[in-house]
A and B are shown apart, each in its own frame.
Chain A
Amino acid sequence: MSLGSIELGRHPAAGLRPLSFRGIVVDFPLLATILAICAYGLIVLYSALEENSSLLLRQGVRLGIALGAFVVVSQIPPRLLRLWTPWVFCVGVGLLALVTVSGDMGGGAQRWLDLGIIRFQPSEIMKLAVPMMVAWFMHERTLPPKFSQLFVLMFIVFLPAILIARQPDLGTALLVVAAGGITILLAGVSLRVIGFAGVLAVGSAPLLWHFMRDYQRARVMTFLNPESDPLGAGYNIIQSKIALGSGGLFGKGWLNGTQAHLEFLPERSTDFVFAVMGEEFGLLGLLLLLALYLALIGRGLFIATQAQETFTRLLAGTLSLTFFFYVFVNAGMVCGLLPIVGVPLPFVSAGGTSMVTLMAGFGMLVAIKGNKKLLAP
């Protein structure tokens, strides 16, 4: 038994433990890091939400729900997860198609499926379901995937991605493609195929550019260089750079960020909360956050190395790396390295939808870790 993980009830000595703990699977290092990030996030959010405690409380409730999802998912044995995967995937794709159809009829935004009491985004499921499906498909087969199998994998990744892109939600479609792509890469697809895909992507860009109309090109240029449009898309990025830069090494101190508090910084509690953190806690505060993130991802990668079957291995690796992808895209966007796409900062940005998905993903990691010994002979 590893240092941080205990598996109550499976050990012969478990009989001594209270009955209520039977079968509970926990991973303390992982849980502790998540809680540390969340707590840090809430502190920054309190400032970003202008010290409004009722808004903060709502975020706390969302966090509680997400943690609930984390605990529940962590108790599902990976074997069951694997068996359910095709169903989850098919239901997810079905819901996406449904949203497209009903949204077409409604004529408005097509991301939400209204179930009467709750509304949710089927595209959110796909962030988990696509890598799970890729891992499921490769589970029964030998790694690396054969060339012919690549076509099936492409289908698994791009069918939901295209449905999501049609909503239109290009940001989420990109994340789904990234998650599925990472799983395929981890599955050991040959470097030649990767190189070929890269050449294809780079090669098609000028061709696409050639066929675009002038106004479409102008949009792409603004997307790539928002500072050319200081009244529109560039406004956010200019203000967020001022917020970050004026924070310096130590920051202006908690609740003292002028950019955020005087409302110069838009989206300060959601997509741009990283800038608030940088303004008030400085470079050191941001490095602390990055260190926590890396610790969490490191733990996830460690769990991936310990997993003993293809499905859990691929899934654990993908979940950890995708998480890094989110962090990098958000932070890169806020400090002006990447174009602006609506990706929240994991566990910190206000909002509940993506947090539940993230927590469920980490729940799976815990489950994978906990069930390791079941499979060992």
Chain B
Amino acid sequence: MNAATPLKDHWKEQRLFLSRLVAAGVIMLLLTGVLVYRLVQLQIVDYQLFSELSQGNRLRIEPLAPTRGLVYDRNGNVLAENLPAWELVLTPEQVPDLETTLAELVRIGLVDVEQQNALATLVRSHRRFENVMLSNLSDEQAARFAVRRHQFPGVDIREGLIRHYPYGEAAAHAIGYVASISSADLEVIERREYAATSHIGKTGIERGFEIELHGGVGYRQQVVNAQGRVLLDPASRTESAPSASAISNLETLWPVPGRNLTLSLDIELQLAAEAAMAGLRGAVVAIDPRNGDVLALVSAPGFDPNRFATGLSQQDFKALNSDPDNPLFHRALAGTYPPGSVVKPFLGLAALHHLEIEPSAREMCPGFFVLPGNTHRYRDWRPQGHGLVDLHDAIVQSCDVFYYRLAVELGIDTIEQFLKSFGFGAPTGIDISGERGGVVPSREWKRTRFSRREDQVWFPGETVITGIGQGFTAVTPIQLAHATAVLASRGTAYRPRLVIAAEDRVTGDVTEFMPIGLGRVEVEESQWQYIHEAMLGVTEEPQGSGFTAMRGAPYRVAGKTGTAQVYSIAQEEEYDEENVAERLRDHGLFIAFAPAENPVISLAVVVENGGGGASAAAPVARAVLDAFFAGEEYVTREH
């Protein structure tokens, strides 16, 4: 036997095991004692209390909805408020047969027949003790239910608040809307916070600031009878009074109301801009270049957000959704358009900055441009050409040939880097969701965007047309307005924002948000000045493309027109507006800032299929600027 292996001492091991077993047994008995003590406490000591809670009248926890925060414009006009309304509410655990109950409610006209199945699904996705709101009732409907109340155990009406947008369609895309919480919403929200809430923000500010606007849920304990009717409610101690011990145990925790938000929007300006866009498709964005405040955010056509808050039938929603004019689409943030010639001031600045060109050097514009060693003619919008033009003239008259040459000299890499420094090609970061980034094309972008090898190569011709904002370049109206603001402020960039202040309704404290700086675009002062003067020329020189629209304005406007081609024209063809279908007609664009010498507003207008920028977009800009400067605040600044 190996002496190194210790022998097992069976007796010692057994004694060790037994001692452990005894210790475990003692602990076990102690724990059992704790358990029994607890049971005695519950079942003997507190028997009376629990017995009352369970006998006939039982405790129900009623969640209390917080009131949603209000939304104001910058001048204190109410954009979104809450109005009292009747709500039809169902408590699943007290309804004997859901299908029959819903069918019966449809029969007496309180629930929309198309909603019946969706509501059944919604009710089943709630827990049995959670209240589910079925619909909003008019006074007449509420009265109709009240007399039949006894036929509907588990269904009740309660006084609720309904969201109301006093300006209707105005700024509908910016403010957004609330609608009934859907089964899909339930997956993503904190359910207990919404136990009493029936509506949730779906788009715009209502969605982006849902947490601030919603507030915090409260609850109260109530004593209810077997049918779920409230017998005792601590909040209204007027009902028949059960025993004292039941009352002392009822708790109430009041909800925390949502915060009031003040937007940067000026609703008067917004209304003027929407009036100017009446009947058109497109977008208007106005930004204060001094802080990034969005003064107007128009996407046309609009829609009435009140229809969502009161409950839109599925059919109506489908109709809205499949409207060819797409009114629900937020064009100002998510519409991407070729910028056309409005890109010219930016590329002109790039040329001054990077190429150090002589600002007064003149070049011949024969009406077309040809790349060396190639026969393809890149045409100017003016077939006979502009003659001898310098950079100033090229911006004022929107000469394409000058810019074809400029683009080739700059090269696509410089163009890309310079345009991106103005915020093109990426979301501006405005404080509501749904924004798209657009495209600033580059060699790298083309490599990753296309899968076929031959599509991935960057062709020199693509650089040429990038010079006049055609080709792959795509921008959103908010990007255009933002970039124009950077131009107006000579390089200082602020993140566009809609919410400028939030008010806590419990304490009354107002939090004002600071503008968020996005850094600077560094260009020499004289070069900024040169471009500003060229853009002034656009509206003040007789041959300027914005001259007609801005003639006689009591303020000085720096602007630029743009006409973006939607439809490709073959090499020898002529663009004939009459013959091109309406949807393939050119988009009209206009960017502007004013007053030119001390800008307080920058503007981007896009009119889809409106034809030219001068004829379609510039007049809209004029109307918006007129409305803006009609306010007395700016009268003193005029010369």
Contacts and interface: CB of A to CB of B under 8 A. Distances in A.
Interface stretch (A26-34, A54-62, A165-173, A230-238): A230-238
B50 A337 contact: no
B256 interface: no
Given A142-B8, A235-B61, A290-B32, A241 B42 contact: yes
Contact of B32 (A235, A294, A310): A294
Given A244-B42, A245-B42, A337-B34, A230 B51 contact: no
Contacts of A258: 54-55, 58
Contact of A245 (B14, B24, B47, B93): B47
B44 interface: yes
A232 to B, nearest CB: 5
Interface in A72-111: none
Contacts of B46: 245
Interface string A297-310: 10001001100001
A246 B9 CA distance: 56
B219 A335 contact: no
Nearest to B34: A337
B126 to A, nearest CB: 12
Nearest to A144: B16
A317 interface: yes
A375 to B, nearest CB: 12
A188 interface: yes
Nearest to B50: A245
A117 to B, nearest CB: 31
Interface in A217-252: 229-232, 235, 238, 241-249
A283 B43 contact: yes
B389 interface: no
B55 A246 contact: yes
A328 B13 contact: no
A205 to B, nearest CB: 22
Given A241-B50, A297-B28, A264 B58 contact: yes
Contact of B192 (A231, A286, A314, A335): A231
B6 A142 contact: yes
Interface residues of B, number: 46
Interface in A176-191: 182, 185-188
Contacts of B35: 290, 328, 331-332, 335, 337
A314 B93 CA distance: 49
B357 interface: no
B49 A245 contact: yes
A231 B195 contact: yes
B18 A305 contact: yes
A199 B412 CA distance: 66
Nearest to B12: A143
Nearest to B221: A230
B63 A231 contact: yes
Contacts of A243: 54
A261 B58 CA distance: 13
B16 A188 contact: yes
Contacts of B371: none
B53 A246 contact: yes
Contacts of B189: none
A122 interface: no
Contact of B36 (A143, A290, A314): A290
Contacts of B25: 301
B152 to A, nearest CB: 19
Interface in A272-301: 278-279, 282-283, 286-287, 290, 294, 297, 301
Interface in B1-32: 6, 8-9, 13-14, 16-18, 20-21, 24-25, 28, 31-32
Nearest to B20: A186
Contacts of B13: 142-143, 188, 310
B6 A245 contact: no
Nearest to A229: B192
Interface residues of A, number: 52
A269 interface: no
Contacts of A305: 18, 21
B307 to A, nearest CB: 31
B36 to A, nearest CB: 7
A278 B39 contact: yes
A259 B46 CA distance: 16
B129 interface: yes
Contacts of A51: none
Interface in A123-180: 142-144
A78 B225 CA distance: 59
B226 interface: yes
Contacts of B195: 231
Interface in B216-273: 217, 219, 221, 226
Interface string A312-330: 0110010001001000100
A267 to B, nearest CB: 12
B635 interface: no
Contacts of A230: 61, 219, 221
A263 interface: yes
A245 B20 contact: no
Given A278-B43, A305-B21, A321 B28 contact: yes
Contacts of B49: 245
Contacts of B420: none
Nearest to A264: B58
Interface in B38-93: 38-40, 42-44, 46-47, 49-51, 53-55, 58-59, 61, 63, 93
A176 B35 CA distance: 23
A283 B9 CA distance: 47
Given A142-B9, A301-B25, A313 B17 contact: yes
A207 interface: no
Contacts of A286: 39, 43
B520 interface: no
A318 B191 CA distance: 42
A111 to B, nearest CB: 22
Nearest to A241: B42
Interface centre among B24, B128, B191 (most CB of A within 10 A): B24
B34 A248 contact: no
A249 B43 CA distance: 6
Interface in B490-512: none
A262 interface: yes
B31 A335 contact: no
Contact of A143 (B17, B53, B61): B17
Contact of A259 (B54, B217, B221): B54
Contact of A231 (B20, B24, B40, B219): B219
Interface in B504-534: none
B96 to A, nearest CB: 12
Interface string A207-221: 000000000000000
A247 B46 CA distance: 11
Given A142-B13, A235-B129, A305-B18, A248 B39 contact: no
A290 B221 CA distance: 34
Contacts of A231: 61, 63, 192, 195, 217, 219
A142 B14 CA distance: 11
Contacts of A142: 6, 8-9, 13
The 7 closest A-B pairs by CB, nearest first: A245-B50, A246-B54, A188-B16, A246-B50, A283-B43, A245-B42, A143-B13
23 contacts: A144-B16, A185-B20, A185-B24, A187-B17, A230-B61, A230-B219, A231-B61, A231-B63, A231-B195, A235-B129, A243-B54, A245-B46, A245-B51, A246-B55, A258-B58, A263-B93, A283-B39, A287-B39, A305-B21, A321-B28, A328-B32, A335-B35, A335-B42
Interface of B: 6, 8-9, 13-14, 16-18, 20-21, 24-25, 28, 31-32, 34-36, 38-40, 42-44, 46-47, 49-51, 53-55, 58-59, 61, 63, 93, 128-129, 191-192, 195, 217, 219, 221, 226
Given A186-B17, A301-B21, 12 more contacts: A142-B13, A186-B20, A188-B20, A245-B53, A247-B43, A248-B43, A262-B226, A286-B39, A290-B35, A317-B20, A321-B24, A328-B32
